[in-house]
């Protein structure tokens, strides 16, 4: 008898076909957004799940699902999964690192350039029919070339963002929990500085930290006050890393020139004041949203689940200690 699994969100048909070769599959191709109670009820008699970052896998859910053996996230982030609870229950947890690095780095640059050159604001202005004539000082933006790029969180995606800065002849600074080896710094053309120096010197600050309790509101009013009034902040990491209320206040008073945001606290219910600000570019948590990359993510999660439930070694296992239970 095949193991029974559930796929919590709509995925590609070819990935479902692969899963059905190995499992009895319940899908959600209608892409309904399940409540925590609904998800827990559906998982009661399942051996595994392919989950999205919006699915909360907490201790209460795990305790109510004694058959559950594997939870495979279709994301690189996994702050939606209680790893400690999974490990204690012997539930293997996996993510999908690597396959989305370049795509997310591209998106960071899309937000950075759109913010610097006021693309969203100008687009709305043209669509409203307000462009009546050309003017020499019309819709002036900010140069990206030769500016200082600051990166807070220098993992794989941060390094990919840094490498792209060569084309703009930028000075690249970064701060990370651990300094990179010299060869990796050289490849990224980046210099390590303190967090305070990064905030003070960056013309464009790109946030690429994983969400964790210690990173909650890592950038708040005190950090924003250190930044140049001409600086711009790009958050493509996770909501909660930035104190959104403090960011809105800084943007409204001119403490920052602009922001490009792909993630928000409480998303998708972001603070409505963001939509009232002309100097903000808003994106719906779409950093990895290309066809090719989302397909790779789904296939990676599927391969993790197949290995986990067939006695193999999932390529991206987050909690090896769960095997000891």
Close Cβ partners of 222 (under 8 Å, ≥ 6 residues apart): none
Instruction: Clarify whether 285 is annotated catalytic.
Output: yes
* Separation between Cα atoms, residue 107 and residue 16, nearest integer Å: 27
Catalytic annotation, pick one of 238, 265, 294, 303: 238
* Separation between Cα atoms, residue 34 and residue 43, nearest integer Å: 12
Q: How far is CA 81 from the centre of its chain?
A: 15
Catalytic annotation, pick one of 10, 24, 201, 267: 267
Residue 246 to residues 225, 243, 276, Cα–Cα distance (Å): 10, 5, 15
Residue 260 phi/psi, 5-degree rounding, is -120, 120
Q: What is the DSSP secondary-structure string of 107-119?
A: HHHHHHHHHHTTH
Residue 43 to residues 67, 81, 193, Cα–Cα distance (Å): 8, 15, 46
* Separation between Cα atoms, residue 95 and residue 123, nearest integer Å: 37
Catalytic annotation, pick one of 223, 285, 294, 303: 285
Instruction: Clarify whether 238 is annotated catalytic.
Output: yes
* Separation between Cα atoms, residue 198 and residue 171, nearest integer Å: 12
Q: Which helix (H) or strand (E) is 302 found in, with range?
A: helix 291-309
Instruction: Clarify whether 223 is annotated catalytic.
Output: no
Instruction: Give helix 119-127 / helix 101-116 axis angle, nearest 10°.
Output: 60
Which residues are part of the catalytic machinery? 238, 267, 285
């Amino acid at each position: 008898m095949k193991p029974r699994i559930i796929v919590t969100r709509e995925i590609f048909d070819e990935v479902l076909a692969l899963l059905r070769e190995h499992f009895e599959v319940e899908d959600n191709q209608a892409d309904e957004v399940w409540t925590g109670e609904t998800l827990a009820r559906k998982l009661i008699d399942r051996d595994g799940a392919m989950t999205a970052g919006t699915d909360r896998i907490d201790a209460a859910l795990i305790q109510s699902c004694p058959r559950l053996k594997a939870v495979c996230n279709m994301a690189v982030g996994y702050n939606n999964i209680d790893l400690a609870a999974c490990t204690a229950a012997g539930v293997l947890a996996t993510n999908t690192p690597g396959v989305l690095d370049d795509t997310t780095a591209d998106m960071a640059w899309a937000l950075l350039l759109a913010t610097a050159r006021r693309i969203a604001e100008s687009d709305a202005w043209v669509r409203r029919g307000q462009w009546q004539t050309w003017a020499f000082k019309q819709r002036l933006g900010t140069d990206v070339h030769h500016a200082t790029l600051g990166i807070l969180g220098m993992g794989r995606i941060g390094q990919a963002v840094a490498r792209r800065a060569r084309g703009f002849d930028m000075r690249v600074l970064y701060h990370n929990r651990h300094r990179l080896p010299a060869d990796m710094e050289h490849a990224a053309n980046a210099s390590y500085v303190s967090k305070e120096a990064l905030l003070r010197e960056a013309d464009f600050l790109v946030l690429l930290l994983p969400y964790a309790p210690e990173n909650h509101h890592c950038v708040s009013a005190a950090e924003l006050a250190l930044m140049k009034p001409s600086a711009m902040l790009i958050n493509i990491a996770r909501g909660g890393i930035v104190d959104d209320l403090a960011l809105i206040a800084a943007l409204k008073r001119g403490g920052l020139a602009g922001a490009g945001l792909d993630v928000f606290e409480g998303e998708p219910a972001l603070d409505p004041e963001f939509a009232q600000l002309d100097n903000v570019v808003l994106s719906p948590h779409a950093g990895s949203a290309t066809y090719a990359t989302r397909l790779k993510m789904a296939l990676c999660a599927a391969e993790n689940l197949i290995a986990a439930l067939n006695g193999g070694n999932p390529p991206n296992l987050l909690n090896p200690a769960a095997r000891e239970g």
